[in-house]
Amino acid sequence: MTGALSDVRILDLTQYEAGTSATQALAWLGADVVKIEPPSGEPGRRLGFPGPGDSTYFLTLNNSKRSLTLDLKQDRARELFLEMLPKFDVVAENFTLGTMEKFGLGYDVLKAAHPPIIYCTVKGFGTFGPWAQAKSFDMVAQATGGAMALTGNEGSLPLKPGPTLGDTGTGVQAAIGILAALWQRQRDGVGQQVEVSMQDAVTNYTRVPMTRREQSGDPVPRYGSSDGAPTGLFPCKPGGPNDYVYVVVANGRMMQGLLTAIGRDDLITPRGGDPVATDDLRAAIEQWTSQRTKTEAMDELARCGVPSGPVLDSGDLYESEQLQARDMLVDMDHPERGPMRLFGCPIRLSESPARVERAPLLSEHTESVLKEELGLTSDEVASLKEQGIV
């Protein structure tokens, strides 16, 4: 079975994470993504990894793509790019504002060369607005999008949430935009520019907690990981830093299930009776959870219809039976790094399973892409390499 997007072709100029995660999602779903890098390689290949070969960061964000090197600072490289353009559907980039224009490859140029092109640009603060020229990374986007102000306990400093909402969170929005533009082009025959700002994307993810301002006023306070017993985080054995289970009780039926699970039916209050004091309820729950592991607590609560989940750390996740059963853990052999386990695609299509293959080596597909797309010979590609063009 071919991939859902097997007829979609993307020239991927993204680097690091925000744009790269967008094109990766489309590659998982079958798109042919040709990652274009300078001959020295995308900087993410070396990020945070001291050993030989590409970083796990790069391998995590670029699997299922092909690698073509082009030094877009050189005229001949830009000519090659423009010659390939009509054979592709999408160009994606997340360079600093103005970089593509300096290359002579801004949207106006690409649209003139190939009007149906979908051009996706990811920027920290977009292409317009008073902050448009400012650079951004994930943590800057989380600060300016409201995520940090919401995270932490009352009285604590603002905290950056661990997940990269500013980067991969933006990539999700960009992928949606690309798919919408492709659908419209199929219907109306028009190409267009897709723009996603990292600040805009994070603001979108904070929109629900921000509604609490109607009750609290501004600023919306940080309230940590607990709404007050019975909903909240409870310690489990053996007492490690992540040995906790999170419990949610949203109605009376769940409350009854919780009290039954912990063997405290005596705390069930009759209709109209005084509720159990929060401190007493928390103490009863903690006494029960502290005698069980976090997964045992979840299993017993689930049987009683109580939503809960263990706090899974990196070691737990990479060995999770649930994630393995859902093909979210992918084992692959890398020619430089050897056997590796990476997270897979969270999107499941019944008729076209996601494609998760290893990330490409630098310039691994340069010769094959230039031969297939432009009809160049091996000697011509070798000459381009000697000149540092590819």
* Range with lowest mean pLDDT among 173-187, 198-212, 224-238, 365-379: 224-238
What is the tens place of the pLDDT at every residue in 299-356? 999 999 999 999 999 999 999 999 999 999 999 999 999 999 999 999 999 999 999 9
Q: Please say whether the beta carbons of 380 and 369 come within 8 A.
A: no
Last residue of a domain, one of 313, 335, 368: 313
Claim to verify: residue 83 and residue 142 sit in the same structural domain: yes
Assigned domain for 215 exists: no
- Locate tokens 């432009």: which residue? 374
Assigned domain for 46 exists: yes
Percent of the chain with pLDDT over 90: 92
- Using CA atoms, how far residue 259 sits from 109, 262, 272, 284, 289, in Å, is 66, 5, 18, 9, 12
What pTM value is reported for the model?
0.95
Q: Please say whether the beta carbons of 186 and 176 come within 8 A.
A: no
**CA terminus-to-terminus distance, the chain:** 34
Q: How confident is the model at residue 261 (pLDDT cuts 50, 70, 90)?
A: very high
Assigned domain for 320 exists: no
- The CATH number that applies at residue 267 is 3.30.1540.10
| Three-class DSSP category at 65 | coil
Q: How confident is the model at residue 167 (pLDDT cuts 50, 70, 90)?
A: very high
Instruction: State residue 4's pLDDT score.
Output: 97
Assigned domain for 78 exists: yes
Claim to verify: residue 272 and residue 360 sit in the same structural domain: no
Assigned domain for 223 exists: no
Give the residue from 72, 128, 63, 77 showing the smallest Cα distance to 101: 72
Claim to verify: residue 283 and residue 339 sit in the same structural domain: no
Number of domains in the chain: 2
Last residue of a domain, one of 313, 342, 362: 313
Assigned domain for 218 exists: no
Instruction: State residue 301's pLDDT score.
Output: 98
For the cut 70, the answer to whether the pLDDT of residue 70 exceeds it is: yes
Instruction: State residue 273's pLDDT score.
Output: 61
Claim to verify: residue 202 and residue 334 sit in the same structural domain: yes
Assigned domain for 213 exists: no
CA dist 329 and 356 (Å) reads 10
CA dist 197 and 174 (Å) reads 9
Buried b (16+ CB within 10 A) or exposed e, 298-317: bebbeeeebbbbbbbeeeee
- The CATH number that applies at residue 346 is 3.40.50.10540
For the cut 90, the answer to whether the pLDDT of residue 227 exceeds it is: no
Residue 245: domain span: 232-313
Claim to verify: residue 31 and residue 75 sit in the same structural domain: yes
Look up residue 333 and give its DSSP letter: E
Claim to verify: residue 351 and residue 238 sit in the same structural domain: no
* Range with lowest mean pLDDT among 34-38, 49-53, 278-282, 288-292: 49-53
Sheet holding 9-12, edge to edge: 66-69, 32-37, 9-12, 90-93, 118-123, 192-197
What is the tens place of the pLDDT at every residue in 191-215? 999 999 999 999 999 999 999 999 9
Instruction: State the catalytic residues.
Output: 167
Q: How confident is the model at residue 49 (pLDDT cuts 50, 70, 90)?
A: confident
Cα dihedral 116/98/45/3 (nearest 10) = -20
Claim to verify: residue 88 and residue 199 sit in the same structural domain: yes
* Range with lowest mean pLDDT among 128-137, 179-188, 271-280: 271-280
* Range with lowest mean pLDDT among 10-24, 44-58, 333-347: 44-58
Claim to verify: residue 178 and residue 77 sit in the same structural domain: yes
What's the rounded mean pLDDT across residues 165-174? 98
What is the tens place of the pLDDT at every residue in 342-372? 999 999 999 999 999 999 999 999 999 999 9
Show the CA angle centred on residue 85, arms to residues 80 and 90, nearest 5°.
135
Instruction: State residue 268's pLDDT score.
Output: 84
Claim to verify: residue 273 and residue 377 sit in the same structural domain: no
Claim to verify: residue 116 and residue 195 sit in the same structural domain: yes
Beta bridge partners of 235: 244
Look up residue 379 and give its DSSP letter: H
Number of neighbours of residue 27 by Cβ within 10 angstroms: 28
Claim to verify: residue 168 and residue 297 sit in the same structural domain: no
Look up residue 267 and give its DSSP letter: G
Claim to verify: residue 249 and residue 280 sit in the same structural domain: yes
Assigned domain for 216 exists: no
Give the residue from 165, 380, 369 showing the smallest Cα distance to 389: 380
Instruction: State residue 274's pLDDT score.
Output: 64
Instruction: State residue 48's pLDDT score.
Output: 87
The residue ranking higher by pLDDT, 228 or 315, is 315
Last residue of a domain, one of 313, 345, 365: 313
Burial of 230 (0-12, 13-18, 19+ CB in 10 A): buried
For the cut 70, the answer to whether the pLDDT of residue 281 exceeds it is: yes
Beta bridge partners of 193: 119
